[in-house]
Amino acid sequence: MAGITGIGSGLNINEIVTALVNAEKAPKTNQLNNLEKQTTTRISAIGTLMGAMNSFKTALDALNKPSLFEARTASTSNSSVLKATAVTTAPAGTYGVQVQQLAASSKVALQSVSGVGSAAATFNSGTLEISAGSTSISVDVTAANNTLAGMRDAINEAGKGSGISATIITDDSGSRLVLSSTKTGEGNDIQVAVTEDGETTGGNALTTQAFTPEADPDNAGAFLKPSSDSGAGGVISQAKSAKLTIDGLQLVRDSNKIEDALEGVTLDLVAAQSTADLTDGKTISLTVGVDKSSVKSNLQKFVDAYNALITSSAQLTAVVEVEGSKPVAGPLVGDSTVRSVLAGLRNEIVKMTGGGESGVRALADLGITTGKDGKLSLDDATLTKALDSNFDQVGGYLTGSDGLMGRLSGFVSSYVATDGVLKQRDSALRGTLKNIDSQRESLNKRVESLETRLFAQYNAMDSLVGQLKRTSDSLSGMLANLPGFVRKDK
C-alpha cells in the first residue's frame, strides 16, 4: 500500500482502493471458505465412518479365528483344593480327582549354640556340604565368617541359584541356623555334612552343625523334630511328593503343578482333602470342555460393533427438520458409498450357507436377528442351544475365508484398506484442501497486484489533478496582474 495519498485531489485513495480490492476478493474468498468448510466436514464424516468400520472389522477378525473354537476350559468343583487349565489339545471330558497329599519342601533346624550372645558364637573353620536330594552347595567357613550370621550369609550367597537358604532363630536353648529348600518331592530332605580343616579355632566345633534326618520311633514315616530343651537339631518340615488319584488311578509327583497326567491339562494342587473326605471316597470333579463363553463374548462384540456402524451411518446421512428454518442435512446425505456399504453388509448377513437342515446356516440360527431399525439383537438362549448342540458347526459357519466373518471382513477391507474406497476418498478430499490453499495463495498474489496497480493509477490521477490545480492557480494569479484587469471582489 502507498504512503500518504490523495493530497493533490483531496480524495481518500486508501479507502477507494481498499473497497475495490475487497469487492474483487470477497466472492472468491467466500467460495473458497464454503468449499473448505464443506471439505473439512466431509473429511471428518469419512473419518467417523472409517472409525466405525474399523471397529467392526476388529470384531469380525476376533471371531474369524479357528483357535477361538479350539480353546478349552478346565474347571473344578472345589477350586480351594484343585485348580486346572487346559490348552487346545485337551480332550473334553469329566474326571474324578482325589488330592491326598501336597508336595512339600524340606526345612530343618541345626544344633543350637547356648549361652549369652550365642548368635555371635564362633566355630572352627572347615566346609559345610549342604544337599537337598541331588542339589548341593559347598560353603567354606573361615575366620572371616565363622559365626552363625557369617555362615548364614555365606549359605544364602552360595544357595541363591539352587533354592537353599538359611536364617537364624533364637529359642529357649539358644540360637541356631534354620535351613530351607525350595525343592519339593520325597527324598529331597536337607542334609549337612561337615569337614573341619583345623586352620581356625572357634568356641564351638563346626561338626555340631552336621545334620542327617533321623526317623521318629513314635511316628512311622516321620523324622525327629528339633528340641528347644536340648538344642538338638531336627526336621521342621519334611520333603514330600504330591499324591493324588484321577478316576481311581494313583499318581505321585514331586511338584504341586502337574502337567503330565492328563493330555493338555495342567493341574494345580492347592490343598489336600480332609481325612474324612478321603475316607468317604469323595472326589473333586474336573471338567474339560470347549470355551463357549469366549465365543459368546465375541459374538456380542460383533453385534455391538455392527449396531454402532448402523448408528454412525444414520447420523451421517440424516436430514433433521428444524421448525421455522431449513432442514439440517448430515454431511453424507445421499452419499452412494454409505449406501453401498450398508447394502453389501446386509447382503452378506442374510445370506444362507451350508450346514444342512439341522445345522447352522444363518445368524438367526445363533439367535442373532435384525430389527426394524436395521440393528442386530442377540438372544442368549438360542445362542446357548446352538453352541451346546452344534459347536463345531458354529465355528465352521463363522470362520475361514468362506465363513461369514471372513466374507464380511474382506468386504469391509475393500473400503478401509490403504487402497480402499474410503481411503481414496479421504485422500481426494485432503487434496482438495491443498488445492484450496493454493487458490488462496494465487488469490492473494492477484489481489496484491491489483492493489498495486490501483494505487499507481489513482496516485497518477492524484498527481495530475494536483498539477492542474497548481496551473489553474498560477494562471489565475497571472491574469489578475494584467493591465486593465479589473478584479471583482465579492
- Percentage with pLDDT > 90 across the chain: 60
Q: Per-residue pLDDT for 485 more than 70?
A: no
149 compared with 486, residue with greater pLDDT: 149
Please report the pLDDT score of residue 487 as a whole number. Answer: 57
pLDDT (tens digit per residue) in 71-127: 899 999 999 999 999 998 999 899 999 999 999 999 999 999 987 677 789 999 999
Give me the long-range contacts of 115-121 (CB less than 8 A, separation at least 24).
115/174, 118/148, 118/170, 118/174, 118/175, 119/147, 119/148, 119/149, 119/168, 119/170, 119/175, 120/147, 120/148, 120/149, 121/147, 121/148, 121/175, 121/202, 121/203, 121/204
* Cross-strand pairs, 192: 130, 211
Residues in the chain: 490
For 195, half-sphere exposure in the C-beta direction (CA atoms, 13 angstrom radius) is 7
Q: Which residue in this structure is represented by grid cell 477361538? A: 68
At 1 the pLDDT is 46
Distance CA 119, CA 233 (A): 16
pLDDT tens digits, one per residue of 311-359: 999 989 888 777 677 777 788 888 888 999 999 999 999 888 765 555 7
Query: What phi and psi, each to the nearest 5 degrees, are found at residue 460?
Result: -65, -45
Find the helix or strand (DSSP H, E) in which 444 lies: helix 421-480
- 376-386 per-position pLDDT tens digit: 999 999 999 99
Supply the pLDDT for residue 167: 97
Kindly report, residue by residue over 1-43, the tens digit of the pLDDT.
Answer: 444 555 555 567 777 877 887 787 778 778 777 777 777 878 8
Backbone angles phi, psi at 346, to 5 degrees: -65, -40
Q: What is the mean pLDDT of residues 118-142?
A: 94
The DSSP code sequence of 447-459 is HHHHHHHHHHHHH
Which among 245, 242, 243 is positioned nearest to 283, based on CA atoms?
245
pLDDT of residue 119: 73
- Separation between Cα atoms, residue 471 and residue 485, nearest integer Å: 19
**What 3-state class would DSSP assign to 104?**
strand
Count how many Cα atoms sit within 13 Å of the Cα of residue 55 in the half-sphere of its side chain.
Answer: 15
Average pLDDT of the chain, as a whole number: 88
Give the residue ranges of DSSP H helices in 323-420: 336-350, 380-398, 404-416
- Residue-wise DSSP of 253-315: ESSSEEEEEETTEEEEE--PPPHHHHHTT--EEEEEEE-HHHHHHHHHHHHHHHHHHHHHHHH
Question: What is the per-residue pLDDT across 202-248, written as a single tens digit (0 to 9) for each?
Answer: 999 999 999 999 999 988 889 999 999 999 999 999 999 999 999 99
Q: Are 178 and 108 in contact (CB under 8 A)?
A: yes
